[in-house]
Structure 1
């Protein structure tokens, strides 16, 4: 088994590309081939699942186009088959805002990449997701002082602050070598401490666990969610510039607005405040970036509370 994994590591990583338009498929194949990937191109979406099962690719790229957006249905099937272990990307035309919106709203949390003539964004996103996946798998091995217990928050099962800082450092090194960007989104549960004081630690902890599930269901496959404080969470968004953060925040807010947790006859509606930083817009150590996101969160919370006080006067 170990020899098999070693041989695969020495080979080019395999990307399954599903693109109905032959011209675009060839362009994507050439772009990824020149970047060192082994590409398996196919024009039919109904062939994606059988091919995926046969070749077990390292990543998948699906061209997302209207009116049927078959790529979304294929992504749902592939995610079930691999249980979220294989990075998947939607490839959309730069002016097709309907496709972008559809993928963000109903795309199963899969990342969206805009098609470009040179394909730099696609290559960067693929490398970012594959390197992050490799780093997580390596860190999960019980070697080098790491174990799965040491990487995770014992209450929620999310990654902890220490491991998140390691992943941020990895992203910084990747950007220094290949270029690109990443972002951090911090979220804090509103009124958590008041709830804990009123209802006790048990209910407060159940709210934390429930909120961690909501975060996990909202973000993309390549994103990493961590618990970094008592009621504070953080999401690492690889290969995501500051321009992409508002969409992520909107998805998180909308998902939390629908969330309900029934505990001992009570219905809890978790709400949260969000803040963010993006690299290299902000440059610093992993700890400085993490603290910067938390400071942005606290500033947003102070602004909201000031607005609420003004409305009461």
Structure 2
């Protein structure tokens, strides 16, 4: 399938994609695909040139081909983040027949979205279009946040978005997906044993744990993802262009990142973990509230299964 719709960036200009691919033949194929989809493409074959070119071009998105054994793309992402360039969507372009590269980027890829080279040729363009549309919507919402009315978009305690804003963004992404195609996912999470934690350590320490959770989520997910607090202890995320097959790796990455970060109480690091669950569109369809509730119910189902497993294993060990 060929994607020919034109997507306009700021001020009506074509969005610019910085494409980095050492293989000349693959570079030309991807450049042609993105050009046909309405993107202005700046092609590069050398990873060491990315940072200086980035600072001159200021692209709307960056696509970096991943090749083993050097994985230079990951080093470039690390450098961009050291420079503070975290508002531009980043993508790894992956060969589906290189499992070692997928595993490396899942473990050390700094949370950057991974896109397989696709026979239909449309997946990368659709993902870029989806992420840029959502990014523009979020930026508009943030700009409105400069007004008094815009302050209602955020949760006062954690600073992330609130449930109302998240539902509005889910509705917008659902309409976009129905019109143009492409998946998205909704993820729910909560600190495990939150209420017991509050009983033991107090409400003020519980609030600190929620702020800690929001910070870790913000550091782990992509810049284009929307993080919101949707109840006392529950958070939810809108993940544009995230298909169901990619969710297990993302859930594992978030869980690992949360466990590696250390939450301290009275100078002692506590082992903390997250309950996680997610649903994907179009595998699940419904209103924004139904999609959010579906993710929460999946999180709770996974939690019940984990508890049953723990009980079963303890009985076996006895």
Instruction: Give the TM-score normalised by structure 1.
Output: 0.92
Counterpart of 1:257? 259
Q: Point out where structure 2 has 5 or more consecutive residues left out of the alignment.
A: 1-7
Once the two structures are superposed, the pairs formed by residues 55-204 of structure 1 within 5 Å of their partners are 55-81=57-83, 83-142=85-144, 148-204=150-206
Counterpart of 1:21? 23
Q: Point out where structure 1 has 5 or more consecutive residues left out of the alignment.
A: 1-5
**Equivalent position SS for 1:141:** helix
CA 82–32 in structure 1, closer or farther in 2 if over 3 Å, else same? farther
CA contact (8 A) 1:141 1:147 kept: no
CA contact (8 A) 1:139 1:146 kept: no
1:106-141 Cα distance to aligned partner (Å, 9 max, x none):
112111111124421100110111011100001112
1:186-213 Cα distance to aligned partner (Å, 9 max, x none):
1121211112122211111111111212
CA 46–211 in structure 1, closer or farther in 2 if over 3 Å, else same? same
Report the CA distance between 1:63 and its aligned residue. Answer: 0.8
CA 245–124 in structure 1, closer or farther in 2 if over 3 Å, else same? same
CA contact (8 A) 2:145 2:153 kept: no
CA distance in 2, matches of 1:93, 1:265: 45
Counterpart of 1:10? 12
1:214-242 Cα distance to aligned partner (Å, 9 max, x none):
22222223322211111111122211111
CA contact (8 A) 1:207 1:270 kept: no
CA 172–40 in structure 1, closer or farther in 2 if over 3 Å, else same? same
Report the CA distance between 1:88 and its aligned residue. Answer: 1.1
CA 297–8 in structure 1, closer or farther in 2 if over 3 Å, else same? closer
Report the CA distance between 1:145 and its aligned residue. Answer: 7.5
1:251-303 Cα distance to aligned partner (Å, 9 max, x none):
12222222321222443222222111111111100001001111111222223
CA distance in 2, matches of 1:8, 1:223: 20
Tell me which stretches of 4 or more aligned residues in structure 1 moved more than 6 Å.
143-146
Which has the larger displacement, 212-221 or 168-177? Answer: 212-221
CA distance in 2, matches of 1:220, 1:109: 6
CA distance in 2, matches of 1:81, 1:144: 26
CA distance in 2, matches of 1:249, 1:305: 18
CA 79–9 in structure 1, closer or farther in 2 if over 3 Å, else same? farther
**Equivalent position SS for 1:62:** strand
CA 146–117 in structure 1, closer or farther in 2 if over 3 Å, else same? farther
Q: Is 1:35 aligned to 2:37, yes or no?
A: yes
CA 136–221 in structure 1, closer or farther in 2 if over 3 Å, else same? same
CA distance in 1, matches of 2:13, 2:151: 32
Report the CA distance between 1:172 and its aligned residue. Answer: 0.5
**Equivalent position SS for 2:144:** coil
Q: Count matched residues.
A: 308
CA 191–286 in structure 1, closer or farther in 2 if over 3 Å, else same? same
Which has the larger displacement, 201-210 or 96-105? Answer: 96-105
1:134-193 Cα distance to aligned partner (Å, 9 max, x none):
000011122798755322111111111111111111210111122111111211212111
